[in-house]
Structure 1
Amino acid sequence: MRVKKQRSKSDSNDSNLTEDRLRKLIKQDMTETITHLVTEQLANLNHQISGFQESLSFINKQYDSLLQTVSEKNEIINNLVTKNEYLTSQVHNLTERLGQVEQSMRSTNIEISGLPEHKLENLTSTIVQLGNIVDNPIADTDIMHVTRIAKINKESNRPRSVIVKLRSQRRRDELLAAVSRFNKKNRDKKLNSEYLGLGGRCVPVFVSEHLTLTNKRLHAIARSKAREAGFKFVWIRDGRIFVRRNEQCHAIYIKDEESLQLIV
């Protein structure tokens, strides 16, 4: 019986040792497995990070290159904008100077609007008659050239305007002043075709300075705006357009379309 008890105790110890060892083996195996898996995952992660770093480095290089390109393009654009502003200013100045030259070339001209057309008309005789009517006689030698000009609006029924080139600017100004005096004196019956001995329906005749197309358009807009704003006076002097609200106000020089904003 004693022998049996000892064997039983020995068997129990062997069993305990086996179980502990088994646990150690399992733990060791699990540790090795986990370590292997973690090591493998870390290696993959390191590989991915390395690839990401390479991609990020490439993107940074591309971004830097793009920034440099954008900076260069911005500099080019700024230079072009500056150059365009300069050229625009130069074109504006040249256009203005050209307009002044064109207007100066017409300094001895008058334009007669509303004068009825006839196939056998003698414009020189009509101009001489005009001078007599307004008490400012005109000799044939004062008239350097006279002609009708083409209509701006081909569909208009109005007669073509007559352009008269006189001997001098002083002679032109004298005739314009005489026409103005005549119209003020005859407010109820201003200058018209009947005074000039032209048959047909009696129509008003207007005598003014010969303006360039640009100034003529500007004058028309100025008259319209002045009428809307209640200005009493709009006139032309030596190719320049002026407006004035009333007798107490100063005259405003309408140099260009921007100046029209002054008519308020």
Structure 2
Amino acid sequence: MVNLKQCKKCEQSIAKSSLKLLCGDCRGYYHLRCGKVDEVDARIMIENKAPWRRPLCENDIEIDNLRKTQQRKSLLVTQQSSSPSRSTEELELKEMIRDLQKEMRECRKSVDFISQMYEEEKKRTKALSVMVNEISRENRTLKEEVEKLKSVRNKEENKKLDKNLCITGLISDESDKENLQNKLHSLFQALEVTVPESEYKVLENIETRNGMKTVISLENKDKKYVILKARAKKGKITTSSVGVGDENTPIYINEDMSKDTYTLFKKAKELKNVDYKHVWHRDGKILARKNDNDKPVHIKNEAMLDELLG
């Protein structure tokens, strides 16, 4: 069971891990807010092992000190009344000395005050610096955790899409959807692969800058790789070359990917400006290499990509 301190002012519990105040006179524990001390000042007092007194305890000390001062003054007046009289010149000289001493004390107090303020500001700055560093560490940790969660989420999204293919340019617009199945059949024939209608289904048609993108989901990943391999072997294909139109509209066949992966892939294409010959994606992974014989680099996030881009 956690041993909790009780605030002497509000009588509420103080968590063990919380900063708290201990009065040097009454030995009671207080919340920072109950003692009217902010976190920076509390940290400074802890670091310098400076004593703290609650205001009421300080008032008791001030009253006691005032009483002692009054007693000393009374004793001084008694002593002066019993001493023999001095000459006027001697008294004037004494008065001048006292005035000078008073001015010196005031000057010293001013210097001490400025010095004290300077030291306190140094302590506050140091305490604030520690707090800023702590917050920065916490932010870095949170950022790392967020990146991990994003990575896990992205992998899960790509896993859901691992049987999908995106075919762009096969149809020109929404009105052409009625001929989609026939055009898909012609495309698979041109690629010399057998893909019966029972082994895939059309998920959606999306308008893009390069034409309508048709997303299909296949029964298994192996069939997806067969189509991609046939596409690579065939080289450039167009609507006219596969017999689905008179124009030479390019047809693109790619793996489907999550939004985050697509964004990273678009940016990764900039690597071709810094001597990377190949940039591609496979199974939700962004890969790149400078030469044909080099080992591919797996680009996992934007930080890694920024490092490669220099």
TM-score normalised by the chain length of structure 2 = 0.62
Q: Call closer, same or farther: CA 1:262–1:77 in 2, change over 3 Å.
A: closer
Shift of 1:92: 1.2
Partner of 1:175: 227
How far, CA to CA, are the matches of 1:245 and 1:170 in structure 2? 28
Does structure 1 retain, via aligned residues, the 8 Å contact 2:241–2:248? no
Partner of 1:221: 267
1:75 alignment partner, SS class: helix
1:224 is aligned with what amino acid? E
Q: Call closer, same or farther: CA 1:247–1:58 in 2, change over 3 Å.
A: closer
Shift of 1:63: 5.1
Partner of 2:301: 256
Shift of 1:80: 1.3
Shift of 1:93: 1.2
How far, CA to CA, are the matches of 1:174 and 1:81 in structure 2? 50
2:265 alignment partner, SS class: helix
How far, CA to CA, are the matches of 1:263 and 1:181 in structure 2? 31
Partner of 2:20: none
Does structure 2 retain, via aligned residues, the 8 Å contact 1:147–1:162? yes
Partner of 1:239: 284
Greater percentage in helix: 1
**Which structure is richer in relative contact order (CA contacts within 8 A, separation 6 or more)?**
1
Shift of 1:40: 3.5
Partner of 1:14: none
Does structure 1 retain, via aligned residues, the 8 Å contact 2:279–2:288? yes
Aligned 1:1-264 pairs, distance under 5 A? 38-56=93-111, 58-59=113-114, 62=117, 66-118=121-173, 119-121=175-177, 122-151=179-208, 156=209, 158-183=210-235, 190-226=236-272, 228-260=273-305, 261-262=307-308
How far, CA to CA, are the matches of 2:270 and 2:228 in structure 1? 23
Q: Call closer, same or farther: CA 1:125–1:257 in 2, change over 3 Å.
A: same
Q: Call closer, same or farther: CA 1:41–1:88 in 2, change over 3 Å.
A: same
Matched residue pairs, number?
Answer: 221
Shift of 1:211: 2.0
Instruction: Give structure 2 stretches of 5+ with no counterpart.
Output: 1-86
Instruction: Give structure 1 stretches of 5+ with no counterpart.
Output: 1-30, 184-189
TM-score normalised by the chain length of structure 1 = 0.71
How far, CA to CA, are the matches of 1:263 and 1:58 in structure 2? 56
How far, CA to CA, are the matches of 1:73 and 1:235 in structure 2? 48
How far, CA to CA, are the matches of 1:131 and 1:32 in structure 2? 125
Shift of 1:113: 2.1
